Each structure stands twice: as C-alpha cells, then as structure tokens.
Amino acid sequence: MSRAVLVGPREKLSSVIEALYELKLIHILDHRGEDETFHVGKPLPPAAVLSEDLLKLRSIANILAVKAATKEAEEVRTDQLREKILSLELNITEEDEARKKAQTLIADLDRRIEELRPFAALGLPLEDYRGYETIAPLVGRIARELSEADLGDLPAEVFEGPGTVAVFTTKANVDRVLTILGRFGFAQLEVPPGKGSPKDLLEAAVADREKWQKRLDEIQGRLDKLREKYAAFVVAAEEALEIEVDKAEAPLRFAVSDHTFVVDGWVPHPRVRDLRARLESEGIFVESEGSHGGHEEADPPVLLRNPKPAKPFEFLIHLYSTPSYHELDPTIFLFIAAPFFFGFMIGDAGYGALFIVMGIVASLKLKRTSIWWKIFFVTGVGGLWALLLGLFVFGEAFGMPFHPAPGHLTELSWQTFGIQVPVEAVIHKAFGISDMIYLSILFAALHLGAGYLFGFANEIGHNKKHALAKLGWFSCLFGLFSLLTYSLRWNRIAQWVWDIPLAWFPRAIETNLSGFVGVAIPLASLILIFGALLALTESVIAPIEIAGLLANVMSYTRLAGLGIGKAAIAAAFNTIILEGLVNSGQVVYLILGIVFLILSQLLVFLLGWISAGIQALRLNYVEAFIKFFKGNGTPFRPFGDRTTQEV
Amino acid sequence: MPDPMAAISAAITMAGTGFATAWAEKVVGGATVGAMAEKPELFGRGLILMVLPETIVVFGLVIALQLLGKVA
C-alpha cells in the first residue's frame, strides 16, 4: 500500500469525487480534528435532497415490502428520480394510511367480538348487568358446570351458557361466592359497554369486521399491483440514490480549507500511477509514498492478493479475522490444508465426484460475488481431494470399497456386483484404523510445523525473541512427533516413517523414563521436546503449553475418526438396504430399496459435507492459526466499492 | 482383545471427558454467540475460546487409548 494525499481547488471537488468513485482505488482515511485552516468538509449541496429522497424511497420499499428486484433492474436516470419518487409516494401513502386505518378497525372489532362472545352465550341484554345498588353481577368463564346448589345457602341466581356463567348475588356475599366459584375454575370478565342483546351486537360486529376485511384485501391487492409494477424501479432507484448520497457526503471525510481540499488515504502500490494519471490531468496535485514497513501511526488497510484458485478462500480468512499488514496472508496455507483435510475425511471417489459436480454447477449458476458461490467453490476443491484419495488410497465409492478387504471376503463391495475397478486400496478404512490415526498424527505434525514456520517468518522482522520461541515450539513439535512415531512403530506407516524419512534420527533410547511414562523414549525426542524451553523468552509460564501442543496433535485424530465414522455409516446403510431389500428378489422391495438407498446416500453425503467441512476449517482456525496468525487488520475498502464485506 | 475392565475404564473415561467438554462448551458457546451478535468480528477469538475445553476430551481419548494398550 502507498499513502496518497490529493490536494486540489475546491471547485474541482465534485469532479474529483466522481473520478475517485469510478476508479475505486483509494481507501479514504477520514479527516478528524479541526484547525484554523482545515476543517471537516461539508456535504455537497444536493446531499440533503438526496438523503430525503432516499428516506422516502426506503419507506416506500418498506410499505410495498420490496426485498429484491424480481426481474432485471431498471435503468434509472437520477435527474428524474425525485419526480417519480414524489408521485409514487403520494399514491402509496394514501393506500398505506387506508390500510393502517382498516387494520386498526379490524383489531378493535376483533377485541369487541372477543368481549361479546361469552355474553352472547348467556343471552341476557347488556343493560341487565349494570345499575344495581345491592346486587353484584359476577360474569366469567368457568371450567366446570355449576348449579345453584353448589353455592349452598348463599342468596344467588345463576345463568349459564357453554363455558360461561353469570352469578347475581348480594354485594355483601361477593367474596364468599368468589371463593366457591374459584374451585370451579372461574375467571371473571368485564362487562362490555353498550346496550341491547349481546347476540345482535355480536352479529353486527362480525358483519362489520367482514366488511373491513374485504376492504383491507382490496387495498392489499392494489398495493401488490403497485409492488409488481414498481419493484424493479424501487430497487434500482435505491441503489442509484445510495451511490449519489455516498458521493455527496464524501466531503465529510475530507479536510477542506477556504479554497482547497485534501484527501488522505491508501492506494495499492502498483495502482498509484493510474490514480496520478487520472487526477493530474484534472489539475489535482497527488503526493504518494510507499508504506514504511508499517511504522505509521495507523496500520495500512489490507488487500489480499492470491492466485486465482485460492481467491475464493479469502472469505474464510476474513471470517476469522483480516490479517494485519505485517503478517503473511494465510490464504494459501488454508487453500492447501483445508480442502485436503476435507478430502481425507470424505475419502470417497463417489462423494468426491458429486462435490465436484456440485461445485461446477454452482459456479455456472450463481453470481461470483455471492457467498454461496464461494462456499460451493471451496467444497468443489475439497471434492477433488476426496475423489483422488478415494480412488487411489481408500479404494471406495459411495461408502462401498472397490474390492473386499483381504481376510474379509464376505464384505459387500463393488466386486460383489460384478464391477471391477483396476485400483487396489492402500488403506481399507474399516480395517486400517491405526493407519488412519497415524496418518492424522503425521498431518498434524506437517500442518502445525508449517504453522510454526509461518510464525517464525512473521516474527523475525519484528521481535527476535518471539521468533526464537517459534523455533523452540517447532523443535518441541518435532520431538513429540518423533516420539509418537517411535512408539507407534508397530503400525506399518509409522514403521516406514521411522525407517526411511527419519532414518537420520539418533536411535539412542532413554530407558530410565520408560517405567514412569509407560513408553520408551528416544533420547533425541526428549531433548527436542525441551526445545519448548525457548518459549521462556515469550513468557515464564509458556513451556506449560507442551501439554497443549500434545492435545493439538491428538486433536487431528478427528480426521481419522470422521473418515472412518462416515464410511461406517454409509457401509451400514448399504449392507442393510442392498442385502435386505434390493437383493430380495421381489419387485416391491426392490423399488423400496432403491428409494431408501438414495435417501440414505443423500443423508451420508450431506452429513459428511457439513461435519467434514466444519472440522477441516476448525483444524485450521484453532490448531494452526493460533501458532502464527494474529489478524485484526482493516480490510481495504476503496471509495466507490459497494460490495458488502460481511459474511 | 483388551482386558474387559480396561475397556470399561476407557468407556468411562470417554463418557466423563465427553460430558465435561460438552458442558464447558455449552457455557462458552452461549456467551460467544451472544458476543458475536454484537460484534461479528469476534468470530475468530470466540471460536478459539469455545473449542478450548476440547482439550479435556482429547486427553480423555489419550488415556482411553493408553488403557486399551494399543490402538486397534
């Protein structure tokens, strides 16, 4: 990034804003603070009118319940906007007021109907409940039936309707009657205002309500028609106005004196020339300077630059935290690790191919800026790994192995159905659990090791002590890894790693500790683990984190766990359905079996997508990123860019 | 075939640590989602805090594996 300062005469203000908006190159730093010469600029004159129009338009959009344009957005001309908005507003506010009035009336009538209903059931005219000196009428809902005998010798008269009761008693006895009524689940009601038969009143209210409901439906119908007609205009006009308001209010971010204005901001270094060429032709002075390695008072904003296939992964980085200007962009790290982990957990040629197809279809159908486009792209890349690993390592498609595992010849496989796939599985998931777990540990070492090296690179130009600590942790990780490899040598992959890639590793074994920990420890591993003491340069208690690092490494065993678990679920479904239903020889069962098969495969596929996707990201976010990635940077938002960054 | 008592112990270890982790994550997770509603940029930090208690179940797994003597 380069810091750029633009200075020009005030009368050029609006043309410069136009140019900057079009270029989308400068991340403006808001001018703060006043002094004698420079103060915060005032919005351009049309700002007030434009804001008002925008407000009106938003209220119109709200009344019409417009969310997004139904068809292609309409072309709008900003100079005709105001007229159109005003006439539309006139039309719509009238309808809206009528609608509100009808809604209020209907709500009132609903209340009235609710009040009258129990009284209509009782049948007494409303005036009968009022105007007594010594008698108190108690009216309400009641849960059980009541007769005058239940009130004992209390002077009272009872009128009953379905679920309602009216008891007339003397005022002196009200409390005692209420106590008895309480036992019958009595809930008292207010007597509604008015005179005459409540039944007639109720009928009148219901008729009234129907009339108003009809009127409301008519209004709603007219509003729906208006929406259909104007939705495209409203959406397009709102966008156009937002742009105009952005431009008109831009001077609020500039420093302005009596005759000049100053814009301060960041420009991507290689594009400074474009900015200069465009503005200097307009008579604007442009001064720019490269960033001083980030030793400015405020960090420059961050624009991630990645090769094309890794670009869609950037949103996953922003989701976690935007990298700061001083650290390596971890997108490539994530681009390699996350899809690979995803593929390892899926590990199935069939599902892998489906993920790829899904990714391709989505990238053709969806808009590139949409978040779903990115999500499908990311899963597609993961699917590629799943396909490769499924074909050449696990020898499996749709949860079924190509060939039965050696020694388990009755296992259901593609071979059972006469489909011969000319690749042999290197690892049979169901029977190679230890292989899977050791591989997970191996990936943990590689992934976390790379994380520490990134961390070292981040810290070296910054804080030598912290960089040293990263190396210490790297050595500790390698110690733990060599120790685990040594103690898991009974596994063929661990044996191979110990014998070939680690052939140079000193073989001296520390035996004194073996009684204590339960395993023999290679001396060199022990020494390397103590490399964590270098972390003392970071903090006195840092070396305690050795246990945490071990937990991080073990955390990767989820790769094995999910991989085997998903395959096991798919295999269980396949075996039950294929052997039980499809191969039963009856047509009904065959059809049923195929339906179940599709549903169960879909379930495994979706579950795999969600769980493997989340876990692959989590291993990066949690285990690896805390080793080197601090984040907290400001994303580069050039003036004129209107895509939202929120995920 | 591992010793039955060792197998039962391993199961108890997994159940206990799993429950402990779930309980701890529930507490942290609830607070994290609340904080994220206010400040979405806390996602990264919130996630790390939320999964910290997983260490418990991972250690449970290590102990369980040790109890079974051998990973198979």
pLDDT in tens, A327-370: 889 999 999 999 999 999 999 999 999 999 999 999 898 888 88
Closest CA to A561 of B48, B52, B57, B7: B57
Distance CA B65, CA A566 (A): 21
Integer Cα distance of A448 and A266 in angstroms: 34
What's the pLDDT score for residue A511? Answer: 67
Q: Is the separation of the CB atoms in A7 and A300 below 8 Å?
A: no
Q: Hey, what are A61's tokens? A: 């959009």
Residue A555 has pLDDT above 50, yes or no: yes
Q: Is the pLDDT of residue A72 over 80?
A: no
**pLDDT in the model for residue A350:** 94
User: What would the mean pLDDT of A254-281 be, rounded to a whole number?
Assistant: 87
Is the CATH number of domain A1-34+257-301 3.30.70.120? yes
Q: What is the largest CA-CA distance in chain A?
A: 109
DSSP result, A351-387 = HHHHHHHHHHHHHHHS-TTSHHHHHHHHHHHHHHHHH
Give the amino acid at A84. K
Average pLDDT, chain A: 86
Angle (CA) A488 A572 A606, round 5°: 90
Distance from the B4 Cα atom to the nearest Cα atom in chain A, whole angstroms:
20
pLDDT tens-digit profile of A204-259? 999 999 999 999 999 999 888 888 888 888 888 888 888 888 888 888 888 888 88
Residue A582 and residue A592: Cα distance in Å, rounded? 8
Can you give the residue ranges of every domain in chain B?
19-67
Amino acid residing at A335: F
CB contact under 8 A, B70 and A555: no
B4-38 and B43-51 helices, crossing angle to 10°: 160
Residue that the structure tokens 């960041």 belong to: A266
What are the residues facing A165 on neighbouring strands?
A140, A160
What are the angstrom distances between the C-alpha of A357 and each of A354, A366, A520, A617? Answer: 5, 14, 49, 22
Distance between CA A187 and CA A143 in Å, rounded? 9
- Judged by average pLDDT, the poorest of A50-64, A429-443, A471-485 is A50-64
| Contact (CB<8Å) B62/A488 | no
Q: Is B38 on the interface with A (CB under 8 A)?
A: no
pLDDT value of position A516: 53
Q: Which amino acid is at B53?
A: P
Nearest of A419, A428, A166, A457 to residue A330 by alpha carbon: A457
Burial class (CB in 10 A: 0-12, 13-18, 19+), A559: buried
What are the tens digits of pLDDT across the range A502-518? 889 888 877 666 555 56
**Cα end-to-end span (Å), chain B:** 9
A518: region left, alpha or beta (phi > 0 left; psi from -120 to 50 alpha): left
| Listed range (A25-29, A68-72, A86-90, A450-454) with the worst mean pLDDT | A68-72
User: What ipTM describes this predicted complex?
Assistant: 0.70
The pLDDT value given to residue A423: 87
**pLDDT tens, residue by residue, A49-63:** 888 888 888 888 888
* A443, two tokens: 């990936």
Report how far residue A445's alpha carbon sits from residue A440's, in angstroms, rounded to the nearest whole number: 9
Average pLDDT over residues A604-620: 91
> Looking up tokens 């957005």, which residue turns up?
A73
Instruction: Identify which of B43, B48, B66 has the shortest CB distance to residue A622.
Output: B48
- Rounded Cα distance between A275 and A310, Å, is 28
Domain boundaries, chain A: 1-34+257-301, 307-428+562-628, 431-555
Count of CB atoms within 10 A of residue A95's CB?
A: 17
Tell me what percent of the residues of chain A surpass a pLDDT of 90: 25
Tokens at A430, concatenated: 């169901």
Nearest to A622 among B40, B51, B62 (CB): B51
Query: How crowded is residue A196: how many other Cβ atoms within 10 Å of its Cβ?
Result: 11
For chain A, say whether B54 makes contact (Cβ under 8 Å).
yes
Taking CB atoms and an 8 Å limit, are B44 and A557 in contact across chains? no
For residues B33-41, give the mean pLDDT.
86
Per-residue tokens: A498: 């110990």
Closest Cα in chain A, distance from residue B48 (Å): 6
The string of pLDDT tens digits covering residues A88-110 is 888 888 888 899 999 999 999 99
For residue A386, give both structure tokens. Answer: 């799943």
* pLDDT tier for residue A391 given thresholds of 50, 70 and 90: very high
- CB proximity list for A20: less than 8 A, separation 6 or greater: A26, A250, A263, A639, A640
Q: What per-residue confidence (pLDDT) applies to A517?
A: 58
pLDDT reported for residue A645: 42
Contacts of A548 in chain B (CB under 8 A): 55
More confidently predicted of A534 and A560 = A560
pLDDT at residue A54, rounded to an integer: 86
Give the containing element (helix H, strand E) for A141.
strand A135-141
Look at residue A495 in the predicted model and tell me its pLDDT: 93
Contact A266, A27 (CB under 8 A): yes
Give residue A647's pLDDT band: very low, low, confident or very high (50, 70, 90). very low
Instruction: Give A354 to chain B, closest Cα distance, Å.
Output: 30
Mean pLDDT of B45-72: 75
- Cα A330 to Cα A323: distance, rounded to the nearest angstrom: 8
Test A551 with B47 for CB contact under 8 angstroms. Answer: no
d(CA B35, CA A25): 34
Please report the number of interchain residue pairs, chain A to chain B, with beta-carbon separation below 8 angstroms.
Answer: 43
Give the tens place of pLDDT for each residue, A167-176: 888 888 888 8
pTM over 0.90: no
Q: Do B47 and A320 touch (CB under 8 A)?
A: yes
pLDDT of residue A406: 83
CB pair distance less than 8 Å for A622 and B47: yes
The whole-number average pLDDT for the span A592-605 is 92
Question: Which chain A residue has the Cα nearest residue B54?
Answer: A555
Dump the DSSP string for A48-83: HHHHHHHHHHHHHHHHHT--S-SSSPPP--HHHHHH
